[in-house]
């Protein structure tokens, strides 16, 4: 076999996502929750580089991010080794932009980027179906990031359906402001509160009917599908979120939505709206610890 030289580092974009629609419909016998969600990746997020090494390690430019076995990047690396038997390693360098505890899928996206990077370094031993199987075992949000396009998630998040091209085109390029207060929301806590207060669940049939109408109505804007029944439990504990949502509705006529289990939210903006004024309103309400970024759906 010819000597191809040393393997080069692989650098991949690791996008954030927003849940345009998130409907948690009940708790499953396995302890997870059933959901229906319309999810879109953004053109903004993290970057992950994987450089060949003897073993796996992780460094990150954000000191708040754990770089041990708690991080999904290293858990993904271990899962990849277990699935393929590959004995190589990598030093992962994570450039972190997606805040933690935001409901923007940062950890899951990083895990999928790690799987893809290792698959390249190892000579692509896993096809797309193999990558999806490994990703699904890492977390419910992971599988959606393999699609690289807007999807509908069902089940516990592991059943992913890519939107038809005509529907995806209605979303692609739409601009959003994503904003987060200075605190995060623990996903496990939020789902635990849903289980403790089942009145917040919604009927799956009603959600599927609403989603089907939106998918087939070529004139329906993205704002028509925005909704998240996890807001009920999260807003009870964190009133700063609904107060700002209402202020943005009243002042700018936008429709805010919470992404995932929070604490990040988003609003669609267009050329007729002043992004700087909306951003200033958010920062004025939530103070210097708040986070605001503009991005486009991909």
For residue 151, the cross-strand partners are 39, 162
Q: Are 46 and 37 in contact (CB under 8 A)?
A: no
Q: Are 291 and 180 in contact (CB under 8 A)?
A: yes
Catalytic residue check, 17:
yes
Question: What would the two tokens of residue 169 be?
Answer: 């085109």
Q: Which residues contact 160 (CB under 8 A, 6 or more apart)?
A: 143, 144, 146, 147, 151, 152, 153
Question: What would the two tokens of residue 7 be?
Answer: 């393997």
The Cα–Cα gap between 177 and 198 comes to 31
- 191 half-sphere exposure, CB direction, 13 A CA radius: 19
Active-site residue (options: 17, 46, 96, 158) = 17
Count of residues in the chain: 298
Nearest to 85 by CA among 49, 51, 50, 125: 125
Catalytic residue check, 8:
no
Instruction: Return the biggest CA–CA distance within the chain.
Output: 68
The position carrying tokens 């516990």 is 156
Active-site residue (options: 96, 141, 158, 180) = 141
List active site positions.
Answer: 17, 141
């Amino acid at each position: 076999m010819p000597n191809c030289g040393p393997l080069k580092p692989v650098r991949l974009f690791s996008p954030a996502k927003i849940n345009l629609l998130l409907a948690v419909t009940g708790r499953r016998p396995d302890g997870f929750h059933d959901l229906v969600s319309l999810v879109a990746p953004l053109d903004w997020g993290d970057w992950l580089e994987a450089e060949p090494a003897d073993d796996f390690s992780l460094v990150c430019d954000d000191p708040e991010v754990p770089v041990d076995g708690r991080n999904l990047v290293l858990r993904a690396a271990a899962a990849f080794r277990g699935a393929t038997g590959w004995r190589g390693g990598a030093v992962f360098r994570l450039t972190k932009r997606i805040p933690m505890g935001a409901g923007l899928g940062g950890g899951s996206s990083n895990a999928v980027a790690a799987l893809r990077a290792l698959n390249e370094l190892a000579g692509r031993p896993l096809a797309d179906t193999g990558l999806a199987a490994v990703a699904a075992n890492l977390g419910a949000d992971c599988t959606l990031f393999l699609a690289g396009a807007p999807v509908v998630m069902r089940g516990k998040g592991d059943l992913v359906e890519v939107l038809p091209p005509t529907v995806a085109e209605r979303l692609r390029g739409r601009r959003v402001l994503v904003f987060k207060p200075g605190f995060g929301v623990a996903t496990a806590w939020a789902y635990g509160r849903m289980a403790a207060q089942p009145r917040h669940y919604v009927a799956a049939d009603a959600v599927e009917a609403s989603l089907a109408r939106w998918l087939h109505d070529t004139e329906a804007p993205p704002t028509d599908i925005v909704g998240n029944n996890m807001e009920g439990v999260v807003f009870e504990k964190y009133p700063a979120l609904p107060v700002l949502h209402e202020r943005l509705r009243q002042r700018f006529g936008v429709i805010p939505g919470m992404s995932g289990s929070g604490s990040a939210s988003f609003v669609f903006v267009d050329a007729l709206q002043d992004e700087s004024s909306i951003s200033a309103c958010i920062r004025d309400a939530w103070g210097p610890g708040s986070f605001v970024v503009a991005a486009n759906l991909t």
